[in-house]
Amino acid sequence: MDKKSFRKICIDRLKKRQNNTYKLDKMVINKLLYIIRRSKSKTIMLYIPLGIEVNITSLIIQLRKEKKIVLVPFMEGESFSLVKYRLPLNIKQFGVKEPSNSNKYNNKIDLAIVPVIGIDGTLRRVGFGKGFYDRFFEKNRKNISKVLFVGRKRCICSEIITDDYDVKGDAYITPQNSFFRNKSRI
């Protein structure tokens, strides 16, 4: 199997059954909150969800109430930079919502929470195929302590289908399962 075929299978599974997404997303959010609090993360990279991704909007609101630094992508050409989450959100390329451009954040990030379509056996990310996250992490990985992948449905390919430049995670969180690269959890 190749990455393109695997991506299509995973996207089809995500689109197939969309009922009960609130409950599934809440399960993932509860796991993420536990990890964030346990790891004492203060600066967290998140994303503004698309339709088939885990809707983490309530997590963003909760973390802002807890005075965490919440960062989200701001599209720039073929990649993105990080900016602090703030309202209002504008709709950009590919229907992605983002805050207005403000000061770019270039400091240390305790935890990056990244949406995935699926992963392979090396815990590398399979996304939508545009390469935005790959290009961002290529330049910024040294500033990011831990990377958590989240998905609404478990989609794992036992074969190695990713490339060396694909983002490698420390964990993969779905409503039903959590997979950690190291035995010591985050």
Residue 47: exposed, middle, or buried by beta-carbon count in 10 A (0-12, 13-18, 19+)? buried
Mean pLDDT of 94-118: 83
Residue type, 17: R
Domain locations in the chain? 3-160
Q: How confident is the model at residue 105 (pLDDT cuts 50, 70, 90)?
A: confident
Q: From the centroid of its chain, how far is CA 68?
A: 17
Of 44, 51, 61, nearest in space to 11 by CA: 51
**Model pLDDT, residue 50:** 84
Where is pLDDT greater, at 1 or 96?
Answer: 1
**Model pLDDT, residue 77:** 75
Q: Which DSSP state fits 168?
A: B
**What is the per-residue pLDDT across 29-47, written as a single tens digit (0 to 9) for each?**
999 999 999 999 999 999 9
Q: How many CB atoms lie within 10 A of CB 141?
A: 13
Whether residue 23 contacts residue 84, with contact meaning beta carbons closer than 8 Å, is answered with no
Whether residue 148 contacts residue 169, with contact meaning beta carbons closer than 8 Å, is answered with yes
**What is the per-residue pLDDT across 35-90, written as a single tens digit (0 to 9) for each?**
999 999 999 999 989 888 999 999 999 999 999 999 998 877 777 888 888 877 87
- Phi, psi (5° rounding) for residue 89? -100, 140
Residue type, 30: N
Where is pLDDT greater, at 6 or 184?
Answer: 6
**Model pLDDT, residue 76:** 77
Q: 149 to each of 107, 135, 167, 174, how far by Cα in Å?
A: 21, 16, 10, 9
Of 176, 125, 178, 172, nearest in space to 148 by CA: 172
What is the C-alpha separation between 184 and 111, in angstroms, rounded? 16
Residue 129 pLDDT exceeds 80: yes
β-pairing, 97-99 with 89-91? antiparallel
If you compute the radius of gyration of the chain from its CA atoms, what whole number of angstroms results? 15
What is the C-alpha separation between 53 and 66, in angstroms, rounded? 24
Where is pLDDT greater, at 148 or 95?
Answer: 148
Fold topology of 3-160: Rossmann fold (3.40.50)
Q: According to the per-residue pLDDT averaged within each range, which of 13-22, 140-149, 173-182 is highest?
A: 140-149
